[in-house]
Amino acid sequence: MDFSLTEEQQLLQDSINQFIEREYTFDDRKKFLDSEKGFNEENWKTFGSLGWLGMPFSEDDGGYNGGPVDVMVIMENLGKGLIVEPYVPSILLSGKILADLGSDDQKSNYLHSMISGEKIVTFAYIEPQSRFNLSDCLTKATVSDDGYVLDGYKALVHNASASDTLIISARTSGNQCDEKGISLFLVDANAEGVSLRNYSTIDGGKASELTLENVSVSKDSLLGEIDEGFTAIDNAIDLATLGICAEAVGIMGKMNEMTLEYTKTREQFEQKLSQFQALQHRMVDNFMHYEQSKSLLVMCAAKMNDNTEDKKKALASLKYQIGLSGKHIGEESIQLHGGMGVTDEMQIGHYFKRLTTIRTLYGNSDYHLSNYASL
Amino acid sequence: MYNDVVYFALNYKGVLMNLSFSKEDQEFQQEVRSFIEQNYPSEIKEKQDQGIPLSKEDTVKWHKILNDKGWLAVNWPEELGGTGWTITQKHIFQNELAAANTPTLMPFGVNMCGPVIYTFGSDEQKEFHLPKILNGDIWWCQGYSEPGSGSDLASLKTKAEKKGDVYVVNGAKTWTTLAQHADWIFCLVRTDGSGKKQEGISFLLIDMKTPGVEVKPIITIDGTHEVNMVYFDNVEVPVTNLVGEEGFGWSIAKFLLAHERTGIAGIPSLKRELDRLRDITTQIQVGEGSLKDDVMFMSKLDRLEIKLTAAEYTELRTLAAMSAGGHPGPESSILKILGTDLQQELSDLFVEAVGYYAHPFMTEEDLASNESRIGPDFAAPVMPHYLNYRKVSIYGGSNEIQRNVISKAVLGL
Ligand SMILES: Cc1cc2nc3c(=O)[nH]c(=O)nc-3n(C[C@H](O)[C@H](O)[C@H](O)COP(=O)(O)OP(=O)(O)OC[C@H]3O[C@@H](n4cnc5c(N)ncnc54)[C@H](O)[C@@H]3O)c2cc1C
Ligand SMILES: Cc1cc2nc3c(=O)[nH]c(=O)nc-3n(C[C@H](O)[C@H](O)[C@H](O)COP(=O)(O)OP(=O)(O)OC[C@H]3O[C@@H](n4cnc5c(N)ncnc54)[C@H](O)[C@@H]3O)c2cc1C
């Protein structure tokens, strides 16, 4: 049994940490958030040239043949830096779908330039009523003479306003919650009938509500087979789930570090806060939450290529734990900072907010616990 | 519902009594209810129900309505404008206000500074300040905490040096809630640096318009401006603004903290918000049903409700003991912990309930604007509230400090 990273993975980790140290300080990040797109395009190209964007893809697809462990390494370290660039939507979701379903043409038109950092493609699948159910899809696509016509509404589409193209799930047959009958389409973000209502999210990201009215797309915008999009959606969400859980572990580690540091510096009653046993035990609990989360993360990354049931069970365990530990570490870290913890000026609150949205993304703890029970 | 509840309270002898609302109490309840119905301004009610932040004017308006009726300073002595109500009546009153979702009034004048002034103040102070606290013309803020003195309040450093008939005040206060709207600030200041740290503290009333007072905003993680830094640079305060004797400030602060902690549990509002969340679960679509069908989620609401009942009856027992002649002492620390835990848990259940629609960042301006909200209306204020409510276990003496108080003063450790 060996839990250590390979030399390449170690180098990858070092290069991300170096990047954050040099180019992604808290003040830099603030500037990126305030820009129009909500992140920095130069950074994105840098990620491309350093090979981070191509990591999850095969060499044939123009990638670097990385596996789930590499994705884990990237996301955990991006988490430590609280990176807002769209790695999850454009790479782990849309990139994965294109890699699974894309034709040669589609790959060369989209995937290659996504990997190089030139194009951003987001994935629109959440609907107001769908909550966490991936097969709940009311947006409709009907067959027309020269392709398809899409109508419907998608919620919380991350980084849509910075995307050139959207992958959109739409029902081509069956009932609201059927797995069969969902198809995936590549849609130009500027196509007629596509309208976005853009907003910031609480964790520093950007998202949009997306309305589709009579949006015509050509035949070759269909990804894979008609009615058969569900498996690719499910696989992409699985990879993204691993990704955000790794991100959460990076965040939790960082929050624990910052809290320890703060309590070792701040004095009340002529003592460092870290000298109060009541608080020491709280930090021990935070540390144990981190260790359990990290253990399930490593376990899950190792099982991503196993048979479906083992992988699903691992993912459900992991995301369940991240929900619990995310709440615990998040809230406790703020509490131990006292009033300083709730100020916008301190970094800790920003980590807390990202950890809080991750608790919900791709299903909260309850959802994953029921998944686990049903497996 | 608590309307016709039969509730128990322990009297000070520890005998279990069976109390039900008397006929007079029921009539009183009816009187309160119809007063609210007839006098609660609809434009304020609308804002409250939609989670739109209230302006200072809104809050002052409601304050004045209650004061005109004589129902503002519920706990003050009758001769100073109090109500003389029994604890049952006070309980009924608070529950009715909360159930109607009326504005939370600023506690700093009526609940904090007022009682300090009528208990410890000079006749001139009473005459000058009490009427203005009651009619809402003067807003107070609380200047206790300093950058170096949070939990260890007694270590505070803001200095007041007596020079002739003024104190010259220098230093900085922090976390001062709504100082940007306040006319006066009541401060703990150091008048003596020798001796035990608690002994050199005095209680001083300062007009915010005095030259040398500067207020700077602190923005919190929910993006709002609720707290401030308040700087004092050679601020000259008349010695007549000292409350009680020099060096008596710590005793006053302890008296006041006990007052601050009783209301802090916020039980009546918790009940209303829990009911509201139950109602919202029917409106949240999950597939072809609603969130109400989710047994896992709904059982969390039941668990919370049981905890809430335990807290409510703990409060009633404390109130009963107080009305039998006790003081709000260390027991109020229990209520502070129980109440704020519940407030935070409930705020998190709201976040869970609305799912992805907790993620859009809604600023106060967004909430107040006429533009339609992202997602259902009830979802928008949920995340800002969850983030903002991190504060309740930190302020008013953190929950860790409350536990220290209980362990020392109640358990004798
Ligand atoms: C079933 C059983 C089997 C055992 N087997 C063995 C054995 O095989 N060999 C052996 O040598 N011993 C054995 N022990 C003894 C065991 O190691 C001791 O019980 C243990 O070290 C606790 O000591 P104590 O019982 O004196 O409790 P105490 O030390 O008196 O502790 C009482 C409580 O105070 C807490 N406490 C103590 N100090 C602190 C502190 N500084 N900070 C915070 N909390 C504190 C403890 O955690 C505990 O909750 C066994 C005990 C049990 C119950
Ligand atoms: C939103 C908000 C509004 C506020 N409004 C006001 C106001 O209007 N006026 C005012 O004067 N103050 C106000 N406060 C200040 C508040 O009272 C302090 O934040 C509080 O006393 C904690 O002090 P601190 O923030 O310095 O934290 P610290 O004292 O530094 O505490 C940090 C952490 O250490 C813990 N801790 C400290 N000492 C001990 C100990 N001995 N044992 C165990 N744990 C310990 C604390 O519980 C906390 O978790 C407000 C605070 C907030 C957040």
pLDDT band at B19 (very low <50, low <70, confident <90, very high): low
Q: Which of A2-6, A119-123, A133-137, A278-282 has the lowest mean pLDDT?
A: A2-6
pLDDT at A351: 98
pLDDT at B315: 87
Return the residue of B nearest to A154 by Cα.
B375
pLDDT tens readout for residues A273-322: 999 999 999 999 999 999 999 999 999 999 999 999 999 999 999 999 99
Domain boundaries of chain A, sorted by first residue: 7-120, 122-227, 231-374
Q: Which of B182, B214, B248 lies at the terminal end of a domain, its last residue?
A: B248
Note whether B173 contacts A: Cβ–Cβ < 8 A.
Answer: no
pLDDT tens readout for residues B267-294: 999 999 999 999 999 999 887 899 999 9
* Mean pLDDT along residues B250-264: 77
Task: Spell out which residues line ligand 2, taking CB within 6 angstroms.
Answer: A 266, 268-269, 273, 276, 278-279, 335-336, 338-339, 342; B 141-145, 150-151, 175-177, 227, 391, 394-395, 398, 400-401, 404
Domain range for B56? 2-105
**Within-domain flag for B112:** no
Mark yes or no for CB contact B358/A209 under 8 Å.
Answer: no
Helix, strand, coil % over all residues of chain A, rounded to 5: 55, 15, 30
Percent of chain A with pLDDT over 70: 100
**Within-domain flag for B25:** yes
The dihedral built from the CA positions of residue B80, B85, B87 and B89, taken in this order, carries a sign that is negative
**Are B191 and B272 contained in the same domain?**
no
**Are B401 and B278 contained in the same domain?**
yes
Q: Which CATH superfamily is domain A122-227 in?
A: Butyryl-CoA Dehydrogenase, subunit A, domain 2 (2.40.110.10)
pLDDT band at B11 (very low <50, low <70, confident <90, very high): very low
Is pLDDT at B13 greater than 80 in this prediction? Answer: no
pLDDT at B320: 77
**One CATH from 1.10.540.10, 1.10.390.10, 1.20.1250.20, 1.20.140.10 for A7-120:** 1.10.540.10
pLDDT at A301: 97
Is pLDDT at A266 greater than 50 in this prediction? Answer: yes
**Are B193 and B317 contained in the same domain?**
no
Closest residue by Cα to residue A78 from A138, A23, A160 = A23
Is pLDDT at A139 greater than 60 in this prediction? Answer: yes
* Mean pLDDT along residues A313-333: 98
**Within-domain flag for B119:** no
Note whether B220 contacts A: Cβ–Cβ < 8 A.
Answer: yes
The ipTM of this complex is: 0.97
**Are B216 and B335 contained in the same domain?**
no
* Mean pLDDT along residues A11-28: 96
pLDDT tens readout for residues A69-117: 999 999 999 999 999 999 999 999 999 999 999 999 999 999 999 999 9
pLDDT tens readout for residues B111-147: 999 999 999 999 999 999 999 999 999 999 999 999 9
Q: Is A114 helix (H, G, I), strand (E, B) or coil?
A: helix
Closest residue by Cα to residue A371 from A289, A298, A315, A290 = A315
**One CATH from 1.20.120.80, 3.50.50.60, 1.20.140.10, 3.40.50.10260 for A231-374:** 1.20.140.10
Q: Check if the beta carbon of residue B233 is closer than 8 Å to that of residue B159.
A: no
Give CA separation, A226 vs A117, A185, B39, B177, in Å. Answer: 29, 10, 62, 59
Q: Is B7 helix (H, G, I), strand (E, B) or coil?
A: strand
**Within-domain flag for B115:** no
Mark yes or no for CB contact A331/B390 under 8 Å.
Answer: yes
**Are B284 and B221 contained in the same domain?**
no
As a whole number, the mean pLDDT across chain A is 97
**Within-domain flag for B253:** no
Return the residue of A nearest to B150 by Cα.
A268
**Within-domain flag for B130:** no
Q: Is A297 helix (H, G, I), strand (E, B) or coil?
A: helix
Q: What is the CATH number of the domain that holds B61?
A: 1.10.540
Q: Which of B194, B213, B248 lies at the terminal end of a domain, its last residue?
A: B248
What are phi and psi for residue B360, nearest 5 degrees? -60, 140
Distance CA A88, CA B242 (A): 60
Is pLDDT at A63 greater than 50 in this prediction? Answer: yes
Note whether A324 contacts B: Cβ–Cβ < 8 A.
Answer: no
Mark yes or no for CB contact A343/B221 under 8 Å.
Answer: yes
Closest residue by Cα to residue B103 from B131, B144, B65 = B65
pLDDT tens readout for residues B335-365: 999 999 999 999 999 999 999 999 999 888 8
* Mean pLDDT along residues B51-78: 94
How many domains is chain B partitioned into structurally? Answer: 3
pLDDT band at B263 (very low <50, low <70, confident <90, very high): low
Is pLDDT at B261 greater than 60 in this prediction? Answer: no
Percent of chain A with pLDDT over 90: 98
pLDDT band at B7 (very low <50, low <70, confident <90, very high): very low
Distance CA B351, CA B384 (A): 10
**Are B369 and B272 contained in the same domain?**
yes
**Are B298 and B379 contained in the same domain?**
yes
- Its pTM stands at 0.96
**Within-domain flag for B169:** yes
Q: Which of B83, B105, B127 lies at the terminal end of a domain, its last residue?
A: B105
Give the closest-approach CA distance of B278 to chain A in angstroms: 18
